[in-house]
A and B are shown apart, each in its own frame.
Chain A
Amino acid sequence: MPTTSTIRVQVEAALAHKFPSALTPPARMVRPVVPTGIESLDALVAGGFPVGAVTELVGEECSGRTSVALSFLSKITAAGKVCAWIDGSNSFHPASAAAAGVDLKRLLWVRCGVQEHTAIQETKRFALPDACFAAKAITKGLHGGGHGTHPRTETKGLPAALGRFLGSEAIVPRCAEPIAKPRPTPPHYESTLVSASAPVRKPKRAKAYDAIEQALRSTDLLIQTGGFSAIVLDLGGVAPEFAARVELSTWHRYRVAAEQTQSSILLLSQYACAKSSSELQLRLSPMENTHEERTVFAGLRARAEVLRQRYTERPANVIPLRKPPQHAQDGCWKQSTSWVGTR
C-alpha cells in the first residue's frame, strides 16, 4: 500500500510535462515594497505597495484613491523610473499630479473613452440681430428677376420656370397617343439607407464598456512591454456594475504578468473586482471634513482599511503560545490641498 506522499510524487511526475509541481503549493514570497509616501498608510500595509503584484484601492468617489496613487507614483518617478496611468474614465488632472510631486515627463498617460466633442472649446460668437441689417430685396415675378421695362419681357423665362415648377410631371401631349404616367418609384428603398457619415448616438452603457475595453487592452500591451515600474489602471469613475463584469481571468493575467515584469499594478475602482488576484486590497472610506479653515479649502481626512493582504512577514518563525498583539487594520491621515503650505 503506497503512502499518500508516494501517490503525490507519482501524480506530480506524471503531470510534470504539463504542470510542473502540480500538487506542491508555491513558495510563500514576501515581496519588496515601495513606500507610498503617506506614513500612516505605509505603517498599515507593512512598508508600502508590493512590487510585481496587483494592488487594489477600492472606494467610492471622494475617498482619496487618486491622491494615494499619485503619492505612490511621485515616489517612483523620483527614483528615475517611468510609470503609466491608464485613464479608464478620462478624469486624470495633470496639475494635481504635478502638485503631488509626480514628474510628468516620466508618466505615460493613456486616455480611454475620450469623446471628441469635449475637446472643442466653447466660444461665444457675437452676431448682430436681423433688425440691424438692411432688408433683403423682394424678388418679383415668376422666375425671380422678372418685370422688365416692357410688357413683352414679362413672360421671359416663363417656360423654364414652368418646367421647374412641374418637374417630371410635365407632359408634352402628342396627338392620338395614350398618355401613360410614369409610376413613381416607391421611396422606401432609399429611406432605409443610413448614410455612413451620420453620427451614431451610442448609449451610455456602450460608451462605458468601450472605455473599459480600451483601458484593459492598453494595460495588457503595457505590461507585456515591460520596463514600467508602476501601472495605474484607473477605473475609479466606472460604475461598479460595469467593473464587475470584467472577466476574472483578466486580473489573473495581470497578476502573472506583473510578477514576470516586476512592475506594481495599481487598480483604482469602486468595486473590489480583482478578487484573489490582488496581493493587497485596501478599502478607502469616504473622506471627512477637517473643519480647519473657514476661508480656504485646506484638505480632508482619509481613512483606509486593509481588506486582504497576502503573506505578511512574520517577525520570527517561532509561534508564540499566547495570541500575539494584532496589527491595526485601519489608518487615517490628512490630505491637504496643493495651495496649503506646511505649518
Chain B
Amino acid sequence: MSSTAELYACVYVREFPAQALLRLRPELHDKQCVVLEGEAPSQAICSLNTRARLVGLRRGMTKVEVDTFEGVTILQRSLRTENSVRMILLECAGSFSPRIEDRSIDGLFICVIDAMGTESLFGPPVELAKRIRQSIRAMGIVAAVTVSANLQTAVCVARGLTGNVPLKVIHRGEEAKLLSPLLLSVLDLTVAQAEIFQAWGIRTVGALAALPERALISRLGQDAKRLLLLARGESPHLLQPIDVPFVLEEQAELDFPLDDLESLLFGLSAMLEQLILRAKSRVFALAAVTITLHLDGGGSHERTVSPRVPTNDKALWLKLLHLDLESHPPPASILAVHLHAEPGATSKVQLGLFAPQLPEPGRLDVTLARIAAIVGDSHVGRAVLDDTRRRDDFHLEPFSIPTSVPEPAIEEAARLSLRVLRPEEHVSVETRHGRPFEMYFRSRRYALEQVYGPWLSGGDWWNESIWGDEQWDIVGRARDSAFLACRLTRDFIQNRWSVAGLYD
C-alpha cells in the first residue's frame, strides 16, 4: 500500500443532538428548536438549529434565558436517539467503503471513510464527496464532507468549515495552506495548552505551524510535536476500522402520551420511509416489521407484521400496520415507538404468458388483513389436515399463493361431501337391538331407512382429553317426505347422541 494513493473522506455533522431529534419530525424544521441538557434547575442549551441561532439563541444559555424568547420549541437531549442515529449514519457511510472509523466526540458526529481505490466506483473525490453528502441527506441529516490524503487534515478542515461550504476537497500539498487560517480549537487542545497559546497570542493554526519545533517542544513537551504535525497537515494516523452491523431499526419518543392511532401513523410513515430507504440502498426489501409501543405505566405492546412477499411499498406497510394495530390496539397511551425490520430478498416474479391469473401479493395481504379484522385472526387461511381421527381434524395456516406446480388431477367419480354442524346438534335417538331406529332432529321425526355402522373411533386415552365415539351413517325420511342423510355420532364418554354433519 503506497502512501501516495491514500484518500480519506471525513463526514462531519454539526449540532448532532438537534439534528438527531429533528430527523423524523419534518413539522419542526421551520421552527426554532433548542435542545436542553442537564438536571431541572440548571438546564442549558447544548444544541440548536439554524433558525434558533438566527434569533439570537446561543449554546450554553439557561432555560430561563430561553424562556425570554417567543415561539421556541424546547426538546430534551436523548442519548438513545443520538446513538441510534449514529449507527444509522455509520452504516450509511459503510456503504461507500468497508473501512470506516468513528471519531465522534460529545455533541458532534465525525466519521472517516477510507476512500482509497474507490475512484473507479464513485469517480473523482468531488463526486465522491457529493454522493456521500447526498446519501447522508437522504437519512435526514445535513453533513459536511471533506476529502484529503491526510486523515487528520480532513477532520480538522471539516471542523473548521463555515456553514456555507458543505464540501471541500484538499489536494495533495495544500494541507498546510488550507489549515493555516483555521482557529486553534480545531486541533483538540487541552485546557492548559489553550491557555498557553492564548497568552502567547497565537490564535490560528498557521501561527502555530510557524513556531520553531525544538523551542516549542522544550516548552510544552512531546505533545507539541503532535500539534505541530497536525498544524502542518503531516500527522500520520493509522485508521482503526470498525464493523457496523446492518440493523434496520428506528425509534421515536413522543412529546406527550398518544391515544390516537391516526396520529401515530403519521410518525410511522416517516420512520418506514427511512427503513425502506436503507433497505433499498442494499438491494433488500422489508420482509417483516416489528413495532414495539412503549406504553404509559411501563408496559409495552409488540406486534409483528409480515406480508407474504417482502416489499418496499410504504403505503402497503402503513395499511398493514394500521389494520393490525386497529384489531390489536394497545391497552394504554403510547410514549415511544420502536420499529425493527427484517430485510428480505426483493421479490422477483417471472410472469408467463400462459400462467394462470393469481392475486397480486400486496393487495392480497391487505385484503386478508381486512377480512381478518371482520371475521377474526384465526378464522381465515388455508386448512391443513392433521393426522388424527378427531372430529376437527384440521388447523388453519396463513394463506399464501403456492408456487409449486399443481398435481395432475385424477379423474374420479363425483364425491359426496359432508357439511359439518358446528357446534354439533344434540338429538334424541331411539334404538332397537342396539341400532338407531328413529330420531328426532330439528323438530321432525325421521324414520331411518338405512343405518350403516357403527364405526368406532377414540383416542387420547392416556390423558385427560380422552375422547371416543361411534359413528353411524344414516339415511332417513320424515313423514312429510323430508329427506335426511347425515353422520350420527354417540359420544361414549358423555353418552350423548348428536348429528356431526349432513351429507350434501
Contacts and interface: CB of A to CB of B under 8 A. Distances in A.
B345 interface: no
Contacts of B484: 62
A126 interface: yes
Interface stretch (A90-98, A139-147, A148-156): A90-98
A109 B482 CA distance: 31
A93 B418 contact: yes
Contacts of B360: 225-227
A19 to B, nearest CB: 30
Nearest to B358: A227
Nearest to B355: A80
B216 to A, nearest CB: 77
B423 A91 contact: no
B6 interface: no
Nearest to A89: B419
B375 to A, nearest CB: 5
Given A95-B394, A228-B359, A338 B375 contact: no
A114 B419 contact: no
Contact of A74 (B409, B413, B418, B465): B409
Nearest to B453: A297
Interface stretch (B84-92, B168-176, B398-406): B398-406
Contacts of B381: 108-109
A99 B415 contact: yes
B359 A227 contact: yes
Interface stretch (A117-125, A180-188, A275-283, A305-313): A117-125
Contacts of A105: 382, 402, 404
Contact of A110 (B379, B419, B501): B379
A334 interface: yes
B483 interface: yes
Nearest to A85: B383
Interface in B453-504: 464-467, 473, 475, 482-486, 493-494, 501-504
A228 B371 CA distance: 15
B406 A262 contact: no
A225 B367 contact: yes
B371 A221 contact: yes
A222 interface: yes
A83 B129 CA distance: 54
Given A62-B503, A121-B465, A297-B452, A333 B414 contact: yes
B410 A334 contact: no
Given A218-B375, A295-B452, A338 B396 contact: no
A80 B356 contact: yes
Nearest to B421: A91
Nearest to A261: B357
A67 B504 contact: yes
Given A95-B394, A98-B385, A111-B380, A66 B417 contact: yes
A300 interface: yes
- B357, B360, B422 — which one has the most chain A CB atoms within 10 A of its CB? B422
Given A101-B409, A221-B367, A336 B422 contact: no
A57 B358 CA distance: 25
Nearest to A74: B409
A71 B382 contact: no
Contacts of B298: none
Contacts of B475: 289, 297, 300
Given A64-B504, A217-B374, A218-B375, A338 B416 contact: yes
Contacts of B414: 37-38, 67-68, 71, 302, 333-336
A93 B464 CA distance: 26
Nearest to B381: A109
Given A104-B383, A124-B466, A125-B464, A92 B416 contact: no
B463 to A, nearest CB: 9
B407 interface: yes
A100 B409 contact: no
B384 interface: yes
Given A91-B421, A221-B371, A227-B357, A100 B415 contact: yes
Contacts of A237: 419
B449 interface: yes
A38 B412 CA distance: 9
Q: State the main secondary structure of chain B at its contact with A.
A: mixed
A229 B401 CA distance: 13
Interface in B333-371: 355-360, 363-364, 367-368, 370-371
Contact of A225 (B363, B413, B420, B483): B363
A31 to B, nearest CB: 16
A286 B501 CA distance: 16
A225 B380 CA distance: 16
B433 to A, nearest CB: 16
A81 B417 contact: no
B411 to A, nearest CB: 8
B304 interface: no
A228 B483 CA distance: 35
A50 interface: no
A255 interface: no
B356 A226 contact: no
A125 B475 CA distance: 35
Contact of B464 (A110, A112, A126, A295): A126
Contacts of B486: 62
A33 to B, nearest CB: 16
Contacts of B493: 124
Contacts of A342: 412-413
Nearest to B485: A62
A82 B359 contact: yes
B163 interface: no
A121 B392 CA distance: 9
Contacts of B385: 94-95, 98, 104
Nearest to B412: A101
Given A66-B419, A91-B501, A124-B466, A286 B356 contact: no
Interface of B: 355-360, 363-364, 367-368, 370-371, 374-376, 379-385, 393-394, 396, 399, 401-402, 404-410, 412-423, 449-450, 452, 464-467, 473, 475, 482-486, 493-494, 501-504
> Nearest 7 pairs between A and B by C-beta?
A227-B359, A96-B417, A78-B409, A297-B473, A94-B383, A286-B483, A111-B379
Interface of A: 37-38, 60-68, 70-71, 74-75, 77-82, 89-101, 103-112, 114-115, 117-118, 121-126, 214, 217-218, 221-222, 224-229, 236-237, 262, 286-289, 291, 293, 295-297, 299-300, 302, 333-338, 342
27 contacts: A62-B486, A66-B418, A66-B504, A70-B417, A91-B419, A93-B417, A96-B415, A101-B410, A105-B404, A106-B406, A108-B380, A108-B382, A109-B381, A111-B375, A114-B422, A115-B423, A214-B374, A225-B359, A226-B357, A286-B483, A289-B450, A296-B452, A297-B452, A300-B503, A335-B413, A335-B415, A338-B416
